[in-house]
Structure 1
Amino acid sequence: MQLGSLRQLTLGSFVLALVPLIALLWQSQNDLAKVGRMTSVETRFVVSAVGLMQQLDSATIDLERSLRQYSVIKNETVAELTDNAIQQFNDAKLALCERLNQFGACQKLAQHIQQLENFRTINDQLLLNAYLASLNASVVQLRSDVDQAIQQRLAIQKDDLTAMQAKQAWLTAMLVSVSLLLILLGTQLIVNPVKKLKQIIRILAQQQGQLPPLSTQAPRELIGVEKDLHWLADRLKQLEHIRTALLRHAAHELKTPLASIKEGCSLLSDQVVGEMNASQMEILSLLMSSTQRLNTLVEKLLDYNLLLQQAQPTFIFASPRQLVSECLEDYALALQDREVTVDIMVEKIRVDEELYRRILDNLVSNAVAHGAPGRPINMRIYLDQEMAILDVANRGKRIAKDKAANLFEPFIRGDEPRNDNVIGTGLGLSIVSDCARLMHGDVEVVDVDYADVCFRVRIPQKEML
């Protein structure tokens, strides 16, 4: 399943991650509206209950005053005022009781009112006081019921708000987690193909392993880049095969006529075909010298071709002292008039012995060929930040910085003449660079205070993944 373009995947992932957040916002708005409605209803209830209770208190005071006035002034006008006060008290009581839906205290008040409605027949002042005291006690009880009802409503409202907050917190945690999961999923759909591209590039750079198959679940742009990298890998394989074949065939074809020329020179030198004069011997000497130089060029070419075919180094813990000693023994004749200073500060290094030996051979050969005659050559091997460092330095003409990088390209030679009068191939430093690269290291020209030219090779000592 192809995921579409990278832009579509990014926008789709963004929109999909916003869906839970939009749902959370919608639920929060609903809860906020519910809280607003609840607060409005409870506020109206409290205001209404308190107002009705105040009306009942006022009606109670008016009723008690009217009854006491009638007990003193018994006329019809005061009696009508008393009847009106009783009616107002009943109305206030009914409104409050309907609001509270409580009938215990209201029934007691109804009984007391029935007793007081016969106020015309009550002549005993003590009996009237008893009736009024019972009425006031029932009103006080009703006031307590009103307070209790308000507190119960507030407690219910508080419980509802607590439950709503818990629900909101749980919903927020859940929806935010869903959004994060969707974001991670969308990110992973982009990161995985990018990681695969990095893997392909690493394989191409190290020239090791097979490329993974083309992705099927990735954005179109990244699949296109992956196809281009696969094409590039095939093209590099073709070019590498052509280059290796060219070098192999060229070296082989040069060996055959070179052997014939050397054999002919040997026959002429032994004067098998007849005696030669001094001029002919001089020409033969030049011919043999040229043949030897050509043989050196062919051997360098074969060495470079062999290096190109070695794709996987074998790392072991080798002794740098032994490798340097063997190298200097092979170059003993060339180093007769040179003092070689060797400074080895590590007993074991993790390298491929054959590749490291080629590095030593070519750097020493380069120092002999291009260093000032009779001047010392310095060699140092040490560790620096989990890197095995090899420094080979000589005295002579300094290398310009703009030319230093090109020295490690194949068939690139320096402008200065060699001390051994041998025409260089331009492959020595290239072989050094390729050997270091195969061991995941590098080589560069560095400035040091004790020599004019210094080549530094760095080989990592950690195992590469």
Structure 2
Amino acid sequence: MTSQVSRRWRPRSLLQLVLLAFVVVMLPIAVLMFQAGEGMSELSQLANVSAREAVDQTRRARTLSNLAVEMERSARQYAVVEQPGLMEIFADKAEEYARLLEAQRRLLPDNPDITALQAQIQTLSELPGKSPQEVRDSLDEFASFADRTDAVREATNLQIDARIDAISDQADEVQQRMWLQTAALVSASLALMLLFTWLIIRPIRQLERRILSLGSGLEPPSAQLIQGPAELVRLGDRLDWLSQRLNELEAQKQQFLRHMSHELKTPLASVREGTGLLCDDIAGELTPRQREIVELIDASGEELQTLIEQLLDYNLLQHNQGASNERFDVATVIKEVLAKHQLALEKKGMRVSAFQEPLDWSADRERTLRILDNLVSNAIAYGENGGELELRAFRQGRSLILEVANSGEPIADDDRARLFDAFYQGRARRKGALKGSGIGLSVAQDCARAQNGQLILADTDPLAVCFRLTLPWSAEALADNDKEELPPPLPAAAESARN
């Protein structure tokens, strides 16, 4: 289903998406390059045509000035020597002048000097048919003729300057337009880059969240659909399959543990009941040797029952991370734990020193009791016979400190790093008939973390082994009653109980 939903409007593969992103991002840049080329070609063509026209017009204006001078020279020479060949030269120059003047008129159609020159050149063109005296009488017209020709030349230069200024303005306009297009198209390319980056990164982040949820065991009931290329969609489908498989395996494990606990507890209860009846002399009085064997069987049964309960507690904690906070008296919890292990302590011959002052605290009572229970059980199992066991409690700011210390063999440095790992057993061996499961301290650590607390092995303590539990005051309890304050400071005797 995921694949069908997400492939309707997205590329079929990650490679296609990357190639599409490259093409689409490069498209505005290609348009920009094309428009820049068109603008530069337009300016280049305009500048080329204008340059050629300017050269032709300047050359034509200069030729008109030279022709005017040559026509005047030919007319004056004819007026002096009266040689007919000079008037033929004059006529040729006049004809060429008229032709060039007509071309110049197309450049300056409204110029009055050109209009006057056209009238004058028509009059001067008639001089070759006149007498020498009439030619001499017409020589005065050449002064105004030359002045108007120079004026036309100046007007041509001004026209060329105006055209150059227009080309410069057009170049500035094209440059400004190119800058605006560059800013717009580069912004579009950047936006497209961000869009395709998001399209590629989003499914990867979705997969990352799925993997983290799988690893933490807190996956929501309905997983989010992976939307993206086909490769990532298929990977999301594989994660769905993996999630279902893990759930199936977890359900099988839970079922196995329930069945095994029942199957183990039923015969174990019968064994313990039988040993109890034997110890009570129901089947007849036992000899001291027989009683010792029966007590050993009963103690081993109790140890086995403890191991089964620890295993079930460990499995329960792995799937129940929430804390149920309440107010309780710390000294009462300690008394309950010691009462549970009273017989084991008496058998071990351990001297117990426990915190007994009233101390209210807000935390998860059941988890706190389980932590202390595991720590006391651990101290009984590994502590020395006839040794010391101390349970201390004191408040430090907004935290409660609980310490369980015992005399005996210190924990080896090589074991400290993995002390709270599940099923890890160090070099030290339990003093009893059965080996431990290696999950007691792991269960205690998980209970502490569930309450945002910390369980560590204290480095400096008068006794050989000391576990220190730090529990913060429950924030949920404060939220229920904003005016509620922390318990009053402990008495001096309670503060010094840890020393």
TM-score bin, normalised by smaller chain = 0.7 to 0.9
SS of 1:400 mapped into structure 2: helix
Alignment partner, residue 344 of structure 1: none
Match of residue 314, structure 1, among 306, 320, 323: 323
Q: CA deviation at 1:396?
A: 1.1
Provide closer, same or farther for how the CA distance between residues 276 and 148 of structure 1 changes in structure 2, counting only shifts above 3 A.
Answer: same
**353-362 or 217-226, which deviates more:** 353-362
Alignment partner, residue 47 of structure 2: 39
Q: CA deviation at 1:204?
A: 0.9
Match of residue 59, structure 1, among 49, 59, 67: 67
Q: How does the TM-score come out when normalised to structure 2? A: 0.72
Q: CA deviation at 1:431?
A: 1.8
Q: CA deviation at 1:453?
A: 7.9
- 2:192 equivalent to 1:182: yes
Q: CA deviation at 1:206?
A: 1.9
Match of residue 248, structure 1, among 220, 241, 258: 258
Q: Where do residues 414-453 of structure 1 align in structure 2 (5 Å cutoff)?
A: 414-419=426-431, 423-432=435-444, 434-435=446-447
Q: CA deviation at 1:42?
A: 0.9
Does the CA contact (< 8 Å) of 1:307 and 1:431 recur in 2?
yes
SS of 1:194 mapped into structure 2: helix
Letter in 2 for 1:34: E
- 2:284 equivalent to 1:274: yes
Gaps of 5+ in 2: 1-5, 476-499
For residues 137 and 29 of structure 1, the distance between their equivalents in structure 2, rounded to whole angstroms, comes to 47
Provide closer, same or farther for how the CA distance between residues 417 and 323 of structure 1 changes in structure 2, counting only shifts above 3 A.
Answer: same
Letter in 1 for 2:104: L
**191-200 or 356-365, which deviates more:** 356-365
For residues 323 and 198 of structure 1, the distance between their equivalents in structure 2, rounded to whole angstroms, comes to 42
Q: CA deviation at 1:44?
A: 0.5
Q: How many residues align?
A: 445
Alignment partner, residue 144 of structure 1: 154
Deviations 1:285-326 (A, max 9, x none): 22332232233223323322432442x41386x89x976994
- 2:32 equivalent to 1:24: yes
For residues 186 and 14 of structure 1, the distance between their equivalents in structure 2, rounded to whole angstroms, comes to 9
Q: CA deviation at 1:144?
A: 2.8
Query: Kindly, what percent of the aligned residue pairs are identical?
Result: 31
- 2:209 equivalent to 1:199: yes
For residues 143 and 464 of structure 2, the distance between their equivalents in structure 1, rounded to whole angstroms, comes to 122
For residues 158 and 86 of structure 2, the distance between their equivalents in structure 1, rounded to whole angstroms, comes to 37
For residues 379 and 400 of structure 2, the distance between their equivalents in structure 1, rounded to whole angstroms, comes to 20
Does the CA contact (< 8 Å) of 1:362 and 1:432 recur in 2?
yes
Provide closer, same or farther for how the CA distance between residues 80 and 274 of structure 1 changes in structure 2, counting only shifts above 3 A.
Answer: closer
**146-155 or 82-91, which deviates more:** 82-91
SS of 1:408 mapped into structure 2: coil
Alignment partner, residue 295 of structure 2: 285
Does the CA contact (< 8 Å) of 2:275 and 2:294 recur in 1?
yes
**174-183 or 67-76, which deviates more:** 67-76
Letter in 2 for 1:33: S
For residues 371 and 4 of structure 1, the distance between their equivalents in structure 2, rounded to whole angstroms, comes to 65
Alignment partner, residue 337 of structure 2: 330
Q: Where do residues 337-352 of structure 1 align in structure 2 (5 Å cutoff)?
A: 337=351
**9-18 or 51-60, which deviates more:** 9-18
Q: CA deviation at 1:241?
A: 1.5
For residues 150 and 199 of structure 2, the distance between their equivalents in structure 1, rounded to whole angstroms, comes to 73
Provide closer, same or farther for how the CA distance between residues 368 and 167 of structure 1 changes in structure 2, counting only shifts above 3 A.
Answer: farther
Letter in 1 for 2:412: R
Q: Where do residues 2-401 of structure 1 align in structure 2 (5 Å cutoff)?
A: 2=7, 3-117=11-125, 120-122=132-134, 128-129=139-140, 131-210=141-220, 212-213=222-223, 215=225, 217-310=227-320, 312-314=321-323, 326-327=333-334, 330-331=337-338, 337=351, 354-355=366-367, 358-359=370-371, 361-363=373-375, 365-366=377-378, 369-370=381-382, 396-400=410-414
For residues 117 and 285 of structure 1, the distance between their equivalents in structure 2, rounded to whole angstroms, comes to 153
Does the CA contact (< 8 Å) of 2:43 and 2:171 recur in 1?
yes
Q: How does the TM-score come out when normalised to structure 1? A: 0.77
Letter in 1 for 2:426: G
SS of 2:429 mapped into structure 1: coil
Does the CA contact (< 8 Å) of 1:364 and 1:392 recur in 2?
yes
Does the CA contact (< 8 Å) of 2:419 and 2:426 recur in 1?
no
Does the CA contact (< 8 Å) of 1:340 and 1:378 recur in 2?
yes
For residues 229 and 157 of structure 2, the distance between their equivalents in structure 1, rounded to whole angstroms, comes to 68
Deviations 1:107-135 (A, max 9, x none): 1112233444466555787x844x33422
